Structure formats: structure tokens, C-alpha cells
A and B are shown apart, each in its own frame.
Chain A
Amino acid sequence: MNPIVVDTALVVASLLVAIGIYGLLNSKNVIRVLLSSEIILNASILLIFSMSSLAGKSYTPLIFSVFAIGMALTEVVVAFASVILYYRQKGTLEVE
């Protein structure tokens, strides 16, 4: 474990969360909102592994992240189905 690398990972994860929150607050486009939440998901996965490398190698973050990515795939498809239905009804991707 390289401490400089782990510290940088914590800073990068914090900045990615901030960028994701900025995107969530600053957009009314549903796809942009979905993509911003994906940025936060990526930040959280990076954070899990950086914390894990601090605490010592363990199987828990690996298995947890595998399930998280699987559920993220499901979440994207379900969210996208909702977006398609919204677009069919309203004819736009902007929320009011």
C-alpha cells in the first residue's frame, strides 16, 4: 500500500462526489441526472477500495463491489425504461 496513492484516492473520490452533486443540482435533464448519479457510484466504489487497502486486503470489498456493479446495471436499465416511458408521454427529456 502506497500512502500517497491512498490519500490521492480519497481526495479524488471526494471531488467526484462533489461533481456528481453539482450535476444533480444543476440539471433538469433526466439522463444528465442519471449520469450524475453514476459519477457518485464510481466515486463510492473507488472509496471502498481505497479504504480497504488501508485496512488490509480482504474479500469483503471485492464481493460487495461485484454486487454493487450488478445492481448498478439493473438500476440503469430500470431508470432508462422509466426515461423511455416519460419521453413517450411528454415528448421531452426535461423535468419540470
Chain B
Amino acid sequence: MYLTPSDLQIGIFFLFSIFALATALFIVNSKNVFYSAVSLAFLGISVAVLIADLDPEAYSLYSAFHLLLYVGATVVFLSISLVMFRGLEVKEVRTPWAPAMALLSAVAFFAVLVLSTSSITPVQVQPLNLAVIGEKIVSQYWFPAVVLVIALLTTMIEALSLARRD
């Protein structure tokens, strides 16, 4: 008996789903936030794999972007910056109604998703490539791109002013 590409896709998806949920649980339960921040990198990798596995032909480009910018920049920045702090151990706070609230929100969220997806009708498939994405960002989505560039620039200035000693 041989595995078909579809079986492999489902197998990889289940494996990384479990991995993503396990790392998310570790993030909220770890007693040291440095380990939580490192686990966020593994969650980012899992989500990138899940996105690529949804439709490898269409979304592998974004998946690589997620790995580069989110895991490679954001999470690494967060993890390295945490070294500056002392006392990263988290004091245990138990909110008795937090698990019930989280479970309730998951059920409500999933119900809304199921209701909204039942009315979706697939549109015509578009071929996806990098050249068209770049052209669309420049022509159609130029304003959000400008806002993003300005936000990143102010972030850099902020980081420089923070790194400067008083």
C-alpha cells in the first residue's frame, strides 16, 4: 500500500497542527517567558508549514515570507531582547473562570466560522506569481504600503532612542 500525495498532505497537516497547539500551550504555561518566546518561533514555523500545506502551489510564497519576517525577525528580536531582563520567572496567577471563558470563546468562534463558510461559493481560480503581487502592491495597495514603510521607519527611530543610554 502506497501513500498518495493527498494522504501525505493530510498527515503533515495533522502533525504540525498538534505541534502548533502543543507549542501554544507551552507558551501560556511555561514558568519562564524566555522559553515561551523561543516556543513562539516554533509556533511561527508550524503556522508557516500549515499555510503552505493548505495549498502548496499558491501559498508557499507567503509561507517563506512568514518564516523570514515573523520567525526570523520578530521572534528572534523578542527572544534576544528578553536577555536584558532579570527575573523572567512568571508568578502563578490562577483565574478560575479563564479555562471556561477560553473554551466558550473557541466554541463561539468555531460556530461563527462554520456559519460563515457554509455560504461561501468558490470564485474563479487566479494564477498566483510574485511579479503580479508586486505590481498589485505598487498600483492598487500603494497607500497601506506607504503607511507600513513609515511605521517601520518610526520603529527603527524608536529602537535607536531606546538603545541610547540616559
Which A residues are CB-close (under 8 A) to B54?
A: 1, 5-6, 9, 49-50, 53
Known: A2-B9, A49-B59. A19 touches B93 (CB 8 A): no
Which B residues are CB-close (under 8 A) to A29?
A: 33, 90-91
Q: Are A26 and B93 within 8 A (Cβ)?
A: yes
Which A residues are CB-close (under 8 A) to B91?
A: 28-29, 94
Instruction: Let me know if B102 is at the binding interface, CB within 8 A.
Output: yes
Taking a contact as CB atoms closer than 8 A, the residue among B21, B55, B101 that contacts A19 in the complex is B21
Identity of the chain B residue whose Cβ is nearest the Cβ of A70 in the assembled complex? B148
Q: Are B103 and A18 within 8 A (Cβ)?
A: yes
Distance A69 CA – B124 CA, assembled complex (angstroms)? 27
Size bin of chain B's contact surface: 35 or more
Distance A21 CA – B105 CA, assembled complex (angstroms)? 8
Distance A55 CA – B58 CA, assembled complex (angstroms)? 13
Tally A residues with Cβ within 8 Å of B.
68
Chain A residues proximal to chain B, CB less than 8 Å:
1-2, 4-6, 8-23, 25-29, 31-32, 34-36, 38-39, 42, 45-47, 49-51, 53-59, 62-63, 65-67, 69-74, 76-78, 80-81, 84, 87, 92-94
What would 17 more interface pairs be, CB under 8 Å, given A12-B17, A18-B109, A39-B28?
A5-B10, A6-B54, A18-B105, A22-B98, A22-B101, A25-B97, A31-B37, A32-B90, A39-B24, A39-B27, A42-B44, A49-B59, A56-B123, A69-B66, A72-B70, A81-B158, A93-B85
Chain B residues proximal to chain A, CB less than 8 Å:
6, 9-10, 13-14, 17, 20-21, 24-25, 27-28, 33, 36-37, 40, 43-44, 47, 50-51, 53-55, 58-59, 61-62, 65-66, 69-70, 73-74, 77-78, 81-82, 84-85, 87-88, 90-91, 93-95, 97-99, 101-103, 105-107, 109-110, 113-114, 116-117, 120-128, 132-133, 136-137, 141, 144-145, 148, 151-152, 155, 158-159, 162
